[in-house]
Amino acid sequence: MSAERQGVRVGVIGAGLMGREVASAFGRWFALLDCPVIPELRAVCDVNAAALDWFRQVPTVKHFDTDHRALLARADIDVVYVAVPHDLHEALYLDVLRSGKDLFAEKPFGIDLAAAVRIRDEARRLGRFVRVSSEFPFLPGARRAFKMASAAQLGRILEVRSAFLHSSDLDPSKPINWKRRSAQCGEAGVMNDLGLHVAHLPLRLGWKPSLVHAHLQKVYTTRPDGKGGMAPCDTWDNAVLHTTVTLGGEPVPMTLEMKRMAPTETNTWIFEALGTESGFRYSTKEPKTFWTYRRGKEQTWEKTDLGFDTAFRTITGSIFEPGFPDILMQMWAAFLAERQGVLGERFGCATPDEAVAHHELWAAALESHRLKSVVALGG
C-alpha cells in the first residue's frame, strides 16, 4: 500500500442488503492496487437495532446508532452512504448534506422528480460532493460498450436497447415488501427501483430521449403480507419505454426496459446499440462475452471473452470473471477518487443531474401511460 493513499471515514445509514454489501467491499479493499483512497467503515445506523448486529464482526466499526441524527453528529465521519427505502431518501439525504458531510446516495435519489431536484439543489447550494449508486457501468462489458459508443465507431446509429430484468415477482407467493408499495417505492414503481441501471449509460453518452411512449403493467395486485393475510401490491411491475433520441441530428429509437416479471431473468442487465458500421451487444446473462458486428460484404457477430478489465487495477488475475461485489468495489473506488479530485479519465459515478434526468424520464412515462400518448420531454 502506498504511503500517499488517503483515508476516508464512512458512515452507513440503512444496514440492509446494500449496507452489508458496502461493508464487504471495504473489507477487501487491499485487492485494489491503484486506488488512491482507502475507506474505513466507522459507523452504522439502522432503526432496526437487530440489523446492526451483523456489523459487530467488522473490526473498524466503532459506532452503532439507531437514530441517523446521532451518526451525523459524529465528528469522525467524512462521507455517509444512505441505503433506505425511497420515501426516506429526501429527508435523510438533506440531513446528511446539512450535517456538513458528503453523500453517496442510493438510487433513485428521492421518491420522485420534485424530491430529486430539491436534493440536487441543496447539495449544490451547500457545495457537498454527491454521487448516486449505479454499479453496472463498471463491468468490463459495459466499459467496452461505453468506449465503442463514445468513440463514434458505430456509424449512424440505428437502434439502442437498455434493459434490466428480474423474474422473482412471477411467484405470486413472494411476500410483499416496501419495494412493492407505491407509498414507499414511489409512483414510478419498477422504474424507481431498476431505472437508474437502465438510464445511466445512455444519459452519460448524451442519449437523452426527446419523446417517450410508455407501456406500464401491474400484474399481481395483492401479495402475502407475511402474517397469514394478503396486502395490496400497487407498484408497476414492468415498464417498457419506447423513446426517441436525437443522434447526429437524426431521430433514433431507444427502448428502455425495466421488468420485475421477465421469465427466466435473474438480475440481467443488457445494453445494445446497432449502427451502420458496427454494433455491440452485452448482457450479464453471458457475463464475460462481448458481442460485436462490423459491416462487411457479409455481416457476422463476433464474440470476445472479456477478462477482469476494470478501471482500478486489482490483484485479481486478468482472465478471471468479475461479479457484483467486484463492480461495487470499483464504483466506490471511483466515488472516493472523484471526491479526492484524482479520478482522471476513469468513468465517474452517476451525478445528481443524471439522477434528476432519469426521474424526468419516469415522470414522462407516467404521463404517457395516463394520456395513452407520446410525451415530449423538455430541454
Ligand X SMILES: NC(=O)c1ccc[n+]([C@@H]2O[C@H](COP(=O)([O-])OP(=O)(O)OC[C@H]3O[C@@H](n4cnc5c(N)ncnc54)[C@H](O)[C@@H]3O)[C@@H](O)[C@H]2O)c1
The site for ligand X (CB under 6 A) is made up of 13-18, 45-48, 51, 68, 83-86, 88, 106-107, 133, 135, 193
Helix (H, G, I), strand (E, B) or coil at 312: coil
Nearer to ligand X by Cβ, of 20 and 161: the residue is 20
Nearer to ligand X by Cβ, of 51 and 158: the residue is 51
For residue 378, the minimal CB distance to ligand X (Å) is: 26
Nearer to ligand X by Cβ, of 275 and 322: the residue is 322
CB-CB neighbours of 368 under 10 Å: 22
Q: Residue type for 53, please?
A: D
For residue 171, the minimal CB distance to ligand X (Å) is: 18
Tell how far CA 294 is from the center of its chain.
30
Nearer to ligand X by Cβ, of 68 and 213: the residue is 68
Our CA angle for 46, 339, 82, nearest 5°, is 15
CB nearest ligand X: which residue? Answer: 16
Is the Cα torsion angle 180, 186, 187, 189 positive or negative in sign? negative
For residue 13, the minimal CB distance to ligand X (Å) is: 5
Nearer to ligand X by Cβ, of 72 and 365: the residue is 72
User: Do residues 363 and 113 lie in contact, with contact meaning Cβ atoms separated by under 8 Å?
Assistant: yes
Cell of 236: 408497476
Cell of 373: 400518448
For residue 53, the minimal CB distance to ligand X (Å) is: 12
CA distances from 236 to 16, 117, 185, 256, 268 (A): 23, 23, 10, 15, 19
For residue 259, the minimal CB distance to ligand X (Å) is: 16
Nearer to ligand X by Cβ, of 14 and 352: the residue is 14
User: Do residues 260 and 218 lie in contact, with contact meaning Cβ atoms separated by under 8 Å?
Assistant: no
For residue 184, the minimal CB distance to ligand X (Å) is: 10
Whole-angstrom distance, CA of residue 301 vs CA of residue 140 = 19
